[in-house]
Amino acid sequence: MQEKNVNQEQIWHGKILEQGLDQLGQAIIIVSCRAEVLFTSISAETLLENHNGLNIINNSLVADLIPDNQRLQKAIQNAINGNHTQENSVSLYIHRNQQDKPYYLSISQLPKQTDERRDGHHALILIKDLEINYERWADRLKSGFNLSPREIECVILLTERRSVQEVGEVMEISTETVRQYLKSIFKKMDVRKLHELVSLALEYRRNR
């Protein structure tokens, strides 16, 4: 009887957590130590039904874009294997074809009991839709530096800690074209180094 009450209490706590995260615009997915999806919150189910950026294929969570999916699978495996070093979690962005702004994923280890750890840990994935305020940020970059829409897209991808090659893959352009965009962006934003560009772009998102 006591065990049944404990399980009911855990279920109740889980529902409260799910509702709270849903109100904050976050969805929940839990994957097993074999990287199989065990649980999806109602918000996550709605998100996945859109088939836009993220999908479940063969019971595994996958991203549509190859570079995004590579980063996603690596992050999930690191969580399962307990390899995360910074606060036991890692964050990444998943892009969508139908929206300008990506999903923001926070992936962390969901530890098991000591006697269950030999097969690896579960992973907890929180997904936040970053559609809010994206247009405002793009408008600030346009008005502040007279950047073109493609230059703005390039800048925002760089703020996500992507390499020049990854930016090219997401934008479906060559690496050389990305470098040409960067030359123009450096001049317009009056910066000389990539980290200066990223810092200035993030400042326009936060403070203006």
Domains with residue ranges and CATH for the chain: 10-129 (3.30.450.20), 134-207 (1.10.10.10)
Residue 105: closest CA among 131, 81, 124:
124
Q: What average pLDDT does this structure show over 69-77?
A: 94
Residues 115-161 pLDDT 10s = 555 566 788 898 887 765 677 788 889 999 999 999 999 999 999 88
User: Which residues are CB-neighbours of 9 under 8 A, at least 6 positions away?
Assistant: none
Cα separation, 21 vs 43, in Å, equals 9
Q: CA geometry: angle at 143 spanning 174 and 196, to 5°?
A: 60
Q: Are strands 37-40 and 122-129 parallel, antiparallel or unpaired?
A: unpaired
Give the pLDDT band (50/70/90) at residue 26.
confident
pTM: 0.60
Question: DSSP assignment of 14-33, as one string?
Answer: HHHHHHHHHHTTEEEEEE-T
Residues 27-65 pLDDT 10s = 889 998 889 998 888 888 888 988 889 999 999 999 999
